[in-house]
Amino acid sequence: MDFRILRRMGHFLAVAEEGHFGRAAARLGLSQPPLTAQIQALEAELGVRLLERTRKGARPTREGEALLPILRRLAEDAKQVEALARELRAGRHAPMALACVTSALFDFLPPLVRALRAAQPDAAIAVQEMDTADAVEALRRGEVDFALARLDRDRPPFKVLPLGEDALVVALPEGHPLLAAAALPLASLAQEPLVLLPRSISPAYFDRQVSACRAAGFEPVAMREVGSAMAQLAFVAAGLGVALVSSGMARLRPPGVAFRALAEPVGSVGVALVWNAERETDGARAAVVLARRVFGVEG
């Protein structure tokens, strides 16, 4: 692979983000003529014009705009490669890769990674934020050793070690009339637009919420679906709906959002350590042992 094209893609991203060749050159530590030459070389390699100059600076062409999302992903992947390479150069070995759902980033990821670091100080650890469905696919392909995800039971070839129970709470925008109550019956949300995670992200988690709503006598009204738990909270803060979220998200205390417990507690699908029994690695085995100890899991 010609790694020069990756460098040139980074140069294009810098100009697209800065909107100006001069500012992009300063950010990259280059002078402007070499930067211009790199962009021209990239355009020649790809066969499309990526940037057009304006009176105020530069902006992507239609073709450049179409390529931007892919190039941003490539840039993030390149950063992960560089970070892992730095750890390996520092003498770390037996690299492990793990996936983590957004809602586990604060309560579950830090203690587990600290334990892994203490047990294997020379191991390089790469973490990727993913939803449950993507994490399972990454495990299937052998791209990660294990995952912190929301699954409720073994689903061969995937093994599941639950790390603790969880419950649903209601996230409401500040000033919402329902905040007058200290705890809410689930049925009180019957007429409220819910901001939901799509079922494709985590079927078990989604099904548990819908089943609870139906048991409370109503079909949830989905105002819109969003891609992550953090996006749910952002939409709630903007007053675009309410949400049922895991209790761990309440500890983040996002501005503009208030939380209420449910009057009749509804269990959620908790965070679990998940690994592929058909591709079990040393890293997965170590994580299972340490997770049992760190989170007090028996068995």
Condensed to tens digits (0 to 9), the pLDDT of residues 209-235 reads: 999 999 999 988 777 888 888 889 999
279 has a pLDDT exceeding 60: yes
* Contact yes or no for 260/181 (Cβ under 8 A): yes
Domain range enclosing 196: 166-267
CATH number at 46 reads 1.10.10.10
pLDDT of residue 69: 85
112, part of any domain? yes
Residue 71 lies in a domain: yes
d(CA 22, CA 32) in angstroms, rounded, equals: 6
Residues in the chain: 299
Choose the final residue of a domain: 62, 86, 110. Answer: 86
260, with CB counted inside 10 A (0-12, 13-18, 19+), is buried
Among residues 106, 111, 157, 163, the alpha carbon closest in space to that of 129 is found at 106
pLDDT, tens digit, 9 for 90 and up, residues 35-45: 999 999 988 88
Alpha-helix residue ranges (DSSP H) falling in the chain = 4-18, 21-28, 32-46, 62-89, 109-119, 132-141, 203-215, 229-237, 247-250, 282-294
Residue that the structure tokens 């998200």 belong to = 249
* pLDDT tens for each residue of 6-36: 788 889 999 999 999 999 999 989 899 999 9
- What string of DSSP letters covers 51-84? EEE-SSSEEE-HHHHHHHHHHHHHHHHHHHHHHH
Same domain, 239 and 287: no
**Rounded to the nearest 10 degrees, how much is the dihedral formed by the CA atoms of 66, 71, 74, 80?**
-130
Tokens of 9: 């893609």
Q: What is the pLDDT of residues 57-72, one digit of tens each?
A: 899 999 889 888 888 8
Residue 275 shares a structural domain with residue 133: yes
pLDDT greater at residue 162 or residue 47: 162
Beta strand 166-173 with 243-246 is antiparallel
Number of domains in the chain: 3
pLDDT (tens digit per residue) in 105-144: 888 999 999 999 999 887 788 899 999 999 999 999 999 9
Asked if residues 110 and 277 have their Cβ atoms less than 8 Å apart, the reply is no
Least confident of 147-156, 226-235, 271-280: 226-235
Kindly state whether residue 299 falls inside one of the protein's structural domains. Answer: no
Whether residue 78 is predicted with pLDDT greater than 80 in this model: the reply is no
pLDDT of residue 143: 92
Closest CA to 39 of 13, 78, 63: 13
Instruction: Clarify whether residues 53 and 176 are in a common domain.
Output: no
